[in-house]
Homo-oligomer: A and B are copies of this chain.
Amino acid sequence: MSHLLQDLPPGSLDYYRKQASFDWKRMKVFIDTEDGIKFQNNLYKKLQMHPEFLGNPLLQTLDEKRNKATQQALAYASIVKSLTNSEITTIKREDIILRTILQFNPSAAFKYPGIKRLFTSALQNQGTQRHHKFIQLAESGKIYGCFCMTEIGHGSDTKNLRTTVVYDKEKGEFVVNTPDFPAAKCWAGGLAELATHAIVYAQLYINRIHWGLHGFVVPIRNPETLLPYEGVILGDMGEKIGVNGADNGFLIFDKYRFPRENILNRFADVTPEGNYVTSATDLKNVRGAVLGALSIARVTVTAKSEFYGTKALTIAVRYAAVRKQFGPKDEEVSILEYQSMQYRLLPYLAAAYIIRFFSMYLDEVTQEFVKESKERNDPALARRGMEIHVISAGAKPVSGWTFRDAIQECREACGGYGYLKASRIGDIKNDQDSINTYEGENHVLIQQVSNWLLKVCSNVQNGNKISTHLKSADFLSNASKILKNKFNATSVVEVCKVENIIDTYQWLVCYLLRETKRKFDALKQSEGSFWARSNTQIFYCKNLSTAFVQHLFLQRMITVINRSPDANIRNVLLKLFSLYGLYNIEKFLPSLFGGGYVEKPEATNLVHEAVLTLCRDLKNDAVALIDAIAPPDFLLNSILGKSDGRVYQRLQIALIRSSSEASRLKWSSETVGKIVNPRNKL
């Protein structure tokens, strides 16, 4: 393996590296595969030689940030093309491609491959042969597409979107119109400055008959000049909290015309004569198929949160290993030795591993689904699409919130230096923050999981066995048996066991599902189903969905652990498994007591002791665990988290650089004299 991976530079991190219970290079090969690492090495080499990727300066204006992101996205597309040579790339390589550019500059990742994937996958899954030309043009870079669903007045509530498309039989064209400002399409990435084509979702009308929401591909800018066409009013969402290199825009149509062929007609079409045609059999399967296919983007976002989180954790774990403060007597110790620091960082490190493995798996099964669903269209596939939709709708918020908190903890763990812009944790935090809103608002998304589980539950209650393609909910068939289980561990070792953790989660999901159903059914009588759903969200639906998703994460982790031939790796991954499980189970203790799964008060102490024991056990592996997943130094681009551990030296250089003129006010001519007496001012 030594030919694939270089040793990391010696320095202050050596102490912990020597303590590690496993070989970080073997771990990295286990995670990324030999092919993946070779690909990564080539990619890194090209990036480091390319002028667009020399350093990553702190840009200040919106223009600079957008320009940089675009140039980097273009350069990156070329680099990737030169490496893949049009051969079909593997999912592992795709993961590396997205991870690398996102960890370097998230805004560039939005521009490539982010938006492109959203645009072409909509065409592929909802369009037909006649839209292939758009895919080809987008692939070859002749046009640039964006995705317009959300409007100013309506986001998640897509049924109430108000953009209209009317069919004009005389001219054989569609006319798209924005009735007022709240109906303007907004937020689409690429729309403000770059996009030449938009996938637009609008209410279709033919002869004044309303046919509901449909997708269209609409040319909006001239690809040669990038000027908008007449009838298309384009605007800019302006500065955001983060990802400011991405140009999110808004779009107003003034009775703008486009060809009839541009309706995405896989499931329904309009004939030249103005007839609406669809197959009823197909229609029944549409929702699952479309939702399954649209999941692709959300699966990517689940992974993205982990990319951000891993970057922040790299900085914080290495800083905590290098930074020394208070110790016993006059000795100083690394702050990573403090129990509180271990508890603040290590559960998130466990989450980074577990969610990484899960995202890769979810990407795989989703891509398989998309491929198959291009070829056929049946109820089994629709159900499979729905399951994928539900899992991705749950995984994205759970991952998003986990790493939102992880990054904040990393910021605080690095103290004041974490608050320096040059640590980059602020940027990571502000960029990741967007994830909890876009590609499906988190609270809206996570409801999809409980909605689906409630349906599944009715099936179980009717005596049916659950058997889904991904087996995500099959255990619910045994709900009545599972609900009889009790927490019976009596030692920390027992509490940490895989079976115990899985049992606890299965009981929790079954219990929360039963209770949610019970409460929902009761409220439905008095309040109707809308309010019944709203009034079961907190402590019921949301906890249910969260527990369900975490259980899936853990199940996947077991499969992954069993695949490793290296006992040391299996051993440390098992500890990560238990830490992630118990850290989260601890937060569910009120329900575990409340539902009677836990009966003895001592359980609280046992779970607490187990979490702290695992933290302590993993502390010496933390640096090596980071080494196996850390972005290389040139991607990290932080003064704190480099692999050589030279924190203070870099800090000194950074501070001296930022001080070149600081010993005197740059704007002093207007201030000297005033500071001497503020009364001068008034």
Contacts and interface: CB of A to CB of B under 8 A. Distances in A.
B682 A78 contact: yes
A594 B590 contact: no
A556 interface: no
B612 A604 contact: no
Interface residues of A, number: 143
Given A343-B538, A442-B412, A601-B596, A250 B663 contact: no
A237 interface: yes
B530 A667 contact: no
A16 interface: no
Interface string A55-90: 000101101001100110011011101100000000
Contacts of A443: 340, 412
Interface string A245-287: 0010110000000000000000000000000000000000000
Contacts of A242: 419, 426
A349 to B, nearest CB: 16
Contacts of A679: 78, 81, 141
Given A589-B589, A593-B593, A662-B234, A194 B675 contact: yes
Contact of A67 (B343, B656, B667, B672): B667
Contacts of A434: 419
Nearest to A411: B433
Nearest to A82: B682
Contact of A226 (B224, B247, B665): B665
Contacts of A233: 663
Given A182-B648, A667-B67, A239 B672 contact: no
B155 A240 contact: no
A359 interface: no
A160 B590 CA distance: 43
A241 B438 CA distance: 23
A150 interface: yes
A634 to B, nearest CB: 19
Nearest to A609: B539
B589 A675 contact: no
A238 B420 contact: yes
A339 B404 CA distance: 23
A194 B339 CA distance: 40
A659 interface: yes
B612 A603 contact: no
A528 interface: yes
A339 B534 contact: yes
Interface in A171-224: 181-182, 186-187, 192-194, 223-224
Interface string A315-355: 00000000001111100100001111001000000000000
Contacts of A674: 74
B421 A433 contact: no
A493 interface: no
A243 B389 CA distance: 41
B430 A325 contact: no
Contacts of A404: 408
Interface centre among A75, A536, A675 (most CB of B within 10 A): A675
Interface in A582-606: 586, 589-591, 593-596, 598, 601-605
A10 interface: no
A612 B343 contact: no
Copies in the complex: 2
A239 B607 CA distance: 42
A461 interface: no
Contact of A416 (B437, B596, B652): B437
A70 B531 CA distance: 52
B58 A239 contact: yes
Contacts of A530: 326-329
A226 to B, nearest CB: 6
Given A675-B194, A675-B226, A78 B237 contact: no
Contacts of A608: 538-539, 590
A141 B326 contact: no
A245 to B, nearest CB: 12
A537 B420 contact: no
A499 interface: no
A415 interface: yes
Contact of A537 (B75, B338, B591): B338
Contact of A75 (B63, B326, B589, B681): B681
Interface string A556-582: 000000000000000000000000000
Contact of A603 (B420, B594, B655, B671): B594
A670 interface: yes
A77 B71 CA distance: 47
Contacts of A665: 193-194, 226
Interface string A398-430: 000000100010011001101111100110011
A288 to B, nearest CB: 21
9 contacts: A71-B670, A74-B674, A79-B682, A187-B416, A228-B664, A238-B657, A239-B420, A539-B612, A593-B593
Given A78-B679, A150-B416, A241-B421, 11 more contacts: A60-B61, A75-B682, A182-B648, A238-B657, A249-B662, A343-B538, A412-B443, A416-B437, A419-B434, A589-B593, A590-B608
